Structure 1
Amino acid sequence: MSQFVEFAGNNAMLFVLLAAIVAFIGWTEWWRFARPYKEISPAEAVNLINREDALVLDVREDSEVKSGKINGARHIPFSVLKQRVGDLAKYRDRAVIVSCGSGLRSGQAGDILHQQSFEKVYSLKGGIAAWQNANLPLVKK
C-alpha cells in the first residue's frame, strides 16, 4: 500500500488526469440515462412508425427539408418549435420521433417536447444522415 501512495504522490498529474477522465465518463453515462428521451436507430424508428403509428417530427430548417424528408413526417423548424409546440398537442400520447440533420437538434427538441408533457419522445440517432446511410427513403414535397 505504501508503494501505491508513493507512486500516486510522484505522479500527481497523472492521477488528476485519470480522475478527470473518470468523472467525464461518469457524467456522460449519467446524462445518457437521465435525459428525457431515448436515442433510436433508423431501424428502431421504422419499427415504431409501423407498430405504434409514431409521429415523425422533422426539426430541420426549411432549406434543409428541400432535399427530402421521411414519408409522413411533420415539419416544424427547430427555430420556431417552442412557439409552435402547441400544434402537436394532439400527439402527446403517441410516440414522437424527432429527426434533424445529424441528431444534435433532435435531442434539444426532445427536451422541449418532454417539458411540454410529451412522454414517449425519441431522437433519431444520427438524424437524416443516418436514415439515408441505412438506405431508407426520403420524399420530396
Structure 2
Amino acid sequence: MTTDIVGCFFADSIQPGDILNELGEYAYKTRFVYQPVFRTGLASDFSEERFVRLYEVGKDRLFCPAPRKGPLLITSRLDLYPCCSQVAQNTILRIGNLRDNPLAELVKDMEHNKLLAKLFTEGLDGLLDAAGITEECPKRLSVPCEA
C-alpha cells in the first residue's frame, strides 16, 4: 500500500527534505507532493520574509502547472474555476456557477475561452504581456498562479 503526502512550506518551517528523512525507508512507498505556501486565505497575514519565492517575472517561464484538461476547482459556493489554485478564487478566471448552468455547458464555455487558451498555451507570460500588466505584478512568486 502507498501513501500520498501533500505539503506546503514556509521559508522558516520544516523543509520537504526533513519530512523525507523522517519517513526513512517508507519514503520509497510514498508519493510526496509539495509546494511553497502562497499568500492567500489565512496566509495573507504572514510577513513577506516567511514566503519562499521560486519564480521571477521576466526571468522564469510562468506556465500554469496544471495541464489544459487538468483539474477544475469548484468552491463551496459552486463557483467553477479552470484550475486547482486557491489564488484563482475570486478572480476574472471564474467560469460560472453550477447553480446557474450545468457543468457540461460551463466546461464547453471554458474550452472556447480565448483568454484561457492563451493561458494554457503561452503560459502566464503571454497573458501578462497581452494584458500589458507585467509591471503591476509582483516580481517574485511562490507559484506561477500568483501572477
Q: TM-score range by the shorter chain?
A: under 0.3
**If each structure's helix is expressed as a fraction of its own residues, which one has the higher value?**
1
- Whichever of the two has the greater Rg, that structure is 1
TM-score between the two structures when normalised by the length of structure 2: 0.24
- Higher strand proportion, which one? 2
TM normalised by structure 1 equals 0.25
